[in-house]
Structure 1
Amino acid sequence: MLKTKRTFVGAVVATTAALTVLGALPAQAAPGKDKEPARAAAKVDESRAPDRAAGVRAASSAATAALATIQTRVARYVATNGTRYTFGSYLDPATGNIVLETDAPAGVVSALTDLSGAATAQRQAATGVQVRRASATDAWHRRDDIQPYYGGGGITAGGAICSSGYAVQNAAGTRFSVTAGHCWANGTSVSTESGANNYGTVSDRRLASVTGDAMDFELIGGRSYSGRVFTGGVTSTSSIPVVAAGTAYVGYTDYCHSGRTTGENCGHTANSITAQVCTATGCKSPVIAFTGGTMIQPGDSGGSFYAKDASGAWIRGNVIATNGVTGYAQPWTVISANLGVSIVTG
């Protein structure tokens, strides 16, 4: 279906993170041309990916093991005691040290990071734990879109706002849009942010606090979805095609995110692809931990996370949480492995 220019009346939307009043937005025009149906995914040489050449030293096996122990403890603590405190943890590629970002009290942190009974190498690795005081939140909340829908657009239901991630398709060729699993329950009917158009219905939700999976994603289906991602500002009509999807690379310093709150922003550095983040909706791992650039904000949640070059976007996942300094993204590799879906290219 081709996209055509139209106008709409803005909606007043209250989010769970903050009260946000949205006025009428500019009419949504097609990005340079009317939208065209996306092509099915074609095999792409992953070695051409712009982030492939990122080079950092490999973490020691002791540090990796120590991190796994701490992350297991954190997940058990949250499962037992609830989500009063938040946790983010990963190995810093620059120093090899374990980073633990949390708002939990010192006593809780000490118990979770005490590896005095572990093997010598793990004990030594644990001495380098960097505890940073921070609170991670689910990144709740482009503003309007028409079919076929792009990634990075604003979507809403029940007063909550999130962002669309990217398009996928199952073995039968049926297409869906990916977003964060903490956004809505299965069966929820979702609209574009303006409320002018139905975006589809939620299915295949995976979320720690709901399904018990250490994941944060869901699909929205029933409409037309394109293999393109919005670029530019929050009311931009520009976009780029999706080239391929795959794993993120630690040390790459120019990852981008696209969402309705902050638009497209690049300059993110991937610090880990085996991180863990625990928020009010439970613990998710493995996830991508990233820093630098303009950080994601409430409403960006579910938006696409990718590397970009002249050919377009190389999808690596969709953003799910932040503490204001470190952001976290649900990896594409986890979604594809669990749902058996393939990326839709543009």
Structure 2
Amino acid sequence: MAATAAMLVAVALTNSSAALAVPTPEAAGKLPTNITPVDQIPAEDAGAQIAAIAAAYPEAFAGTHWDAATKTLYVNVAAPRAKRADLRTVFQQAVTGKLRSAKSPVKTVFRPVPLSLDGQQALLDTFMAGRAKWGGQSAVRNVVGATVDAKTGTLFAQVSGDLAALRTAAQRRFGKTVSLRPGTAIKLDDRYYSSSPWTAGNALWGSQDASRSTAQCTQGYNWRRWADNLRYASTAGHCWAPGTSLYNGLPDQRIGYVGTRYLNTGEYVDFEYIRITYGSVDNSVWVGGTRDASHRRVLWADNDGTQTGVTVCSSGANFGLNCGVILNRTTTFNYGAEYGYASLSKLTCVSKVTGYGPGPGDSGGPVLTTATGGAVKAWGQYIGRKDCDGDGDEDWVFAGIKNIAARVGASLIVS
């Protein structure tokens, strides 16, 4: 599975069927102010071009980072492991040539870092999978998540209890490469009267008698599944069990039911299909508040999956639009007993910048940026909140579009 995800350079995209009856998009003049910084858009494009080249240099590439303050796109480059060919110069020449031929306006700086993206993931896998060996059952119970700082190569782990003893055990096994900090388990968070085609960002309920004052979860992006070529809606895998009937708006407005759920140890997604039994789905998405959101169109996706430093926003049914800066693409954490202690990795962590942050009922909802005219770029689907870097502030986590497509075998629906 990991190899499949690594090989997936671009997410397959499916055009919306012309036969679908879709709401008329709002005129550009009526759309809310663009939520994505204008100078970030060419940086996203440059990052995607670099990621495509980097597939041939996995031991050299360590991701890109957009520094909004200095308007600089940093390309992280790692030294090779012992007895491996040093391809850093060749990689840098390839990147420079590609951006020059594309006439990219973005200032690019190559930055040396200790570990490639593969190296960061290997460290995380060794640390998390080996908890019982280096820290016993205390580590299994109390290590609730970890991530690697790309600049320093340090693994920061969050621990809910027995910190002193686990810190000693981890340092004995990993030395100064690992730093343990106090932390808590991720908070799983659990538009109201929509109509077909069902739109990403819609409020969802798992029963007819549930209160309609707040959503239980949020509809994610819509997908075409390769196995049967059918169109599905989606949400977070921790929201409901397979087979659960789902509703939007009125108690009798059943839109379908939960299909296959993806929430297993070793995976990169918290996701479940929604099989539509009434109406249809398209490429529409709500962008904005809970009751004053704007109806937009998803036109493309983050095919990179490695860039940090860019601003993205969640658009949830309960807490509306909340934006933040991507901290890392390597967050991993464990779920509780209700979900079989599943341990997910390669998730994206975002620091809170605006608003309260996504909250209960926003789970599964779209994470996005916008371009001129309000068109949407899909980045992923929201999972929950946690302190990813140990600074005491609550960040939020989502599963990336690229990883979702690779794992569930589907194409994002776009126009």
2:195 aligned to which of 139, 142, 146: 146
Verify the 8 A CA contact 1:163 1:302 in the aligned structure 2: yes
The residue type equivalent to 1:260 in the other structure is A
2:272 aligned to which of 215, 218, 227: 218
- Structure 2 CA distance for aligned equivalents of residues 196 and 308 of structure 1: 34
Q: Write the mapping of 1:247-258 to structure 2, written as runs, cut at 5 A.
A: 247-258=304-315
- Structure 1 CA distance for aligned equivalents of residues 132 and 297 of structure 2: 37
Q: Write the mapping of 1:1-346 to structure 2, written as runs, cut at 5 A.
A: 2=21, 32=26, 50=44, 52-53=46-47, 54=66, 55-56=73-74, 57-58=76-77, 59-61=113-115, 64=120, 65-74=122-131, 85=142, 87-93=144-150, 95-107=152-164, 109-110=166-167, 114-118=170-174, 123-126=175-178, 129=179, 131-140=181-190, 142-158=191-207, 159=210, 161-171=216-226, 172-208=228-264, 213=267, 215-222=269-276, 223-245=279-301, 246-266=303-323, 268-280=324-336, 281=339, 282-293=342-353, 294=355, 295-310=357-372, 312-323=375-386, 325-346=394-415
Provide Cα deviations, 1:120-164, integer angstroms capped at 9, x if missing partner.
Answer: xxx3322xx252433421121x22311101111110104581101
2:240 is paired with a residue whose SS is coil
Cα offset for 1:225?
1.1
Cα offset for 1:117?
3.8
Gaps of 5+ in 1: 5-29, 34-46
- Structure 2 CA distance for aligned equivalents of residues 162 and 176 of structure 1: 16
Verify the 8 A CA contact 1:256 1:306 in the aligned structure 2: yes
Cα offset for 1:342?
0.6
The residue type equivalent to 1:337 in the other structure is A
- Structure 1 CA distance for aligned equivalents of residues 335 and 321 of structure 2: 24
Gaps of 5+ in 2: 1-19, 28-40, 48-65, 67-72, 78-112, 388-393
- Structure 1 CA distance for aligned equivalents of residues 343 and 232 of structure 2: 25
- Structure 2 CA distance for aligned equivalents of residues 73 and 144 of structure 1: 47
Verify the 8 A CA contact 2:364 2:381 in the aligned structure 1: yes
- Structure 2 CA distance for aligned equivalents of residues 297 and 224 of structure 1: 27
Higher mean C-alpha deviation, range 68-77 or range 174-183: 68-77
1:61 is paired with a residue whose SS is coil
Higher mean C-alpha deviation, range 271-280 or range 245-254: 245-254
The residue type equivalent to 1:91 in the other structure is V
Q: Which structure is larger by alpha-carbon Rg, 1 or 2?
A: 2
Query: In structure 2, do the counterparts of structure 1 residues 133 and 308 end up closer, same or farther at CA, with 3 Å as the change threshold?
Result: same
2:216 is paired with a residue whose SS is strand
Provide Cα deviations, 1:240-263, integer angstroms capped at 9, x if missing partner.
Answer: 211122343432331111111111
- Structure 1 CA distance for aligned equivalents of residues 377 and 132 of structure 2: 31
- Structure 1 CA distance for aligned equivalents of residues 316 and 136 of structure 2: 30
Query: In structure 2, do the counterparts of structure 1 residues 253 and 214 end up closer, same or farther at CA, with 3 Å as the change threshold?
Result: closer
Cα offset for 1:304?
0.8
Query: In structure 2, do the counterparts of structure 1 residues 78 and 343 end up closer, same or farther at CA, with 3 Å as the change threshold?
Result: farther
Query: In structure 2, do the counterparts of structure 1 residues 299 and 151 end up closer, same or farther at CA, with 3 Å as the change threshold?
Result: same
Cα offset for 1:286?
1.8
- Structure 1 CA distance for aligned equivalents of residues 221 and 369 of structure 2: 13
Query: In structure 2, do the counterparts of structure 1 residues 221 and 149 end up closer, same or farther at CA, with 3 Å as the change threshold?
Result: same
Cα offset for 1:301?
0.4
Query: In structure 2, do the counterparts of structure 1 residues 148 and 60 end up closer, same or farther at CA, with 3 Å as the change threshold?
Result: same
Cα offset for 1:270?
1.5
Q: What is the aligned length?
A: 297
Q: TM-score, normalised by structure 1?
A: 0.74
Query: In structure 2, do the counterparts of structure 1 residues 256 and 196 end up closer, same or farther at CA, with 3 Å as the change threshold?
Result: farther
Instruction: Determine the structure 1 residue equivalent to 2:103.
Output: none
The residue type equivalent to 2:261 in the other structure is R
Query: Identity, % of aligned pairs?
Result: 22
1:50 is paired with a residue whose SS is helix
Provide Cα deviations, 1:140-192, integer angstroms capped at 9, x if missing partner.
Answer: 1x223111011111101045811011011123542111210011111111001
* RMSD between aligned residues: 3.3
- Structure 1 CA distance for aligned equivalents of residues 403 and 115 of structure 2: 23
Cα offset for 1:239?
2.1
The residue type equivalent to 1:333 in the other structure is K
Query: In structure 2, do the counterparts of structure 1 residues 82 and 91 end up closer, same or farther at CA, with 3 Å as the change threshold?
Result: closer
Verify the 8 A CA contact 1:74 1:87 in the aligned structure 2: no
The residue type equivalent to 2:381 in the other structure is N
Provide Cα deviations, 1:264-291, integer angstroms capped at 9, x if missing partner.
Answer: 222x221222220223233211211111
